Structure 1
Amino acid sequence: MTRRRTFAQQQHHAQTDEAGNQWLSIEEAARLLGVGQSTLRRWSDAGLVPVYRTAGGHRRYREADLLALLKSEERPRRRLSRKALVDLSFALYHSQLTAQVASRPWYSRYQPEHLAELRALGRQLVELAFRIVNRAVDREELLRAGRTIGQRYGEISAQAGLTPAEAAEAFLAFRAPTYLAITQFAEREDIPTRRVLRLLGELTILLDEVLLATLRSLEPDTSLTRSVS
């Protein structure tokens, strides 16, 4: 009886070292895991999947590592889902969206310390979003926390000299990791479509409140104007 060949042997391009390890290219590894190459790159960069580099800088994956990951998928999925997906969503944000907004006039007016705090606020926003998923917070409490984040967004934007319209545009860009984290979480956990739509609706309500709080904090202090007059 013919023995079943390994996945790597079936692909013809995989290499075997002296220890008998089968090494896969990123294309072969992504096919084995059933994900896209860009997803596998993000997982590798976040330390979720072991990856090695050739002398020429090419990524190589050991088939045994990937098979072990597949066999233990149910355990790490829940252990890594929140922190890992937050990290992955921010990695994607910085690699793609930052390149898009960096050319906007308002972006250069944020100082490095502003951007660092905005990133921290963004992570807090993602954590609030996960509390929606876990139903671990009262709705009013959630909205209050969101408004607090929005107020700080506005204060930072005011310090940077942004107009309300520019601050709104900035927030729309900085909120991207929140949607990314939740959609990736939903995909990994196989959440039913109906519940995903409900979660996204609740998330939109939260983010709308954050945006409104951002804009309110940029409004001139009319009480001070009245007292002076």
Structure 2
Amino acid sequence: MTVSRTPETTVVEEWLTVQDACALIGVSPATLRRWSAAGDVQAFTTPGGHRRFARSMILGLLPSARRQRPTLEHLGETPEHMMSVFRRHLGQACRGVSWLAGLGEDEMEPLREHGRRIASSLLMFIDASTTGERQAAIQKAEGAATEYGRIAARGSGEIRETVEAFLRFRMLFLGELVQVARRRGLDTIESTNLLVTATQAIDQLLVALMSGHETELAEIASERDSS
């Protein structure tokens, strides 16, 4: 961030990466770089050669009628509602995932709790207005995804089955966001921004889940070798 001071005010400017700027307005990195090269969008270049864009300037590219996408909370998409969607559809979505079908109620509850933490943290990440809020939300979600991966490793031992179950969660989550965008009349830029932001976050969680799965299998193998 850059702090600009005048005798009357102190203005804090947030500088965005290409990816963050694109997610904010719903365009591709190639498009934003082309605008920057043509001089249509000003950018600051770091010593390492990376472009940074002022958040206020990027927001200025949006239609004047609405400079910022309404938050999911404002649209009524709460963690409680998201979990109710999962409860209605998760059974059918996870049909055929053998290790989930074999779990008892006591074993399923920790997975449900981590699922709730992941969903609520994702919603917080999507609605976050500052870098600090986004980092805190994604770290919480990554922690839950890592633990989910560890539990899944004990249940199946197969990374393929663990990833398959997570991808079905991903499908439900993104599908619900699409429905929210339709029901609430978000425009194309707002809808794209919503889905790009959510997809980027979920991809990070998939990496965390796989890491947790691998760590748990390594610990199981180590315990087996030492016994």
Q: TM-score of the superposition, structure 2-length normalised? A: 0.54
Shift of 1:100: 4.8
The answer as to whether partners of 2:163 and 2:210 remain within 8 angstroms in 1 is yes
User: Alpha carbons of 1:133 and 1:174: their partners in 2 closer, same or farther (altered >3 Å)?
Assistant: closer
State the number of aligned residues. Answer: 148
Paired residue type of 2:175: L
Residue of structure 1 equivalent to 2:139: 144
Asked if residue 159 in structure 1 is aligned to residue 163 in structure 2, the reply is no
CA contact (8 A) 2:145 2:208 kept: yes
Matches within 5 A, 1:176-215: 176-215=171-210
- One-letter amino acid of the counterpart of residue 182, structure 2: E
Contact preservation (8 Å) 1:129, 1:182: no
In structure 1, the residue matched to 2:86 is 90
Report the alpha carbon displacement of residue 157 of structure 1 after superposing the two structures with TM: 0.5
Q: Read off the aligned partner of 2:89 and give its amino acid letter.
A: Y
Runs of at least 5 residues in structure 2 that lack an aligned partner in the other structure: 1-72
Shift of the 133–187 alpha-carbon distance from structure 1 to 2, 3 Å rule, reads farther
Verify: 1:174 aligned to 2:165, yes or no.
Answer: no
The normalised TM-score by structure 1 is 0.53
Structure 1 Cα separation of the partners of residues 118 and 185 of structure 2 = 23
Q: CA deviation at 1:80?
A: 4.6
Identical-residue share of aligned pairs (%): 20
Q: CA deviation at 1:78?
A: 5.2
Inter-CA distance 202–78: structure 2 relative to 1 (3 Å threshold)? closer
- 1:147 corresponds to which letter in structure 2? E
State the secondary structure of the residue aligned to 2:196: helix
The letter of the residue matching 1:143 is I
Aligned counterparts of 1:217 and 1:133: Cα–Cα separation in 2: 24
Confirm whether residue 129 of structure 1 aligns to residue 122 of structure 2. Answer: yes
Please give the root-mean-square deviation of Cα atoms over the aligned residues, in Å.
3.2
The match for 1:67 is none
Q: 1:84 to 1:218 in 2, by over 3 A?
A: closer
Is the Cα–Cα contact under 8 Å of residues 126 and 197 in structure 2 kept in the other structure? no
Deviation for aligned residue 1:84: 6.4
Number of the residue aligned with 1:104: 97
Counterpart amino acid of residue 132 in structure 1: F
* Kept in 2: contact 1:147–1:213 (CA 8 A): yes
Question: Could you tell me whether the CA contact under 8 Å between 2:125 and 2:138 is conserved in 1?
Answer: no
On the 8 A contact 1:151/1:217 being kept in 2, the answer is yes
- Residues in 1 aligned to 2:101 and 2:116: alpha-carbon distance in whole angstroms: 21
Q: How far, CA to CA, are the matches of 1:205 and 1:197 in structure 2? A: 12
Report the Cα distance in structure 2 between the residues aligned to 1:161 and 1:127, rounded to whole angstroms.
26
Q: Distance in 2 between matches of 1:192 and 1:105?
A: 40
Residue 130 (structure 1) shift: 2.1
Give the letter for the 1:168 counterpart.
V
For 2:95, the aligned partner's letter is: A
CA contact (8 A) 1:133 1:199 kept: yes
**One-letter amino acid matched to 1:152:** E
The structural deviation recorded for 1:169 is: 0.8
CA contact (8 A) 2:126 2:198 kept: no
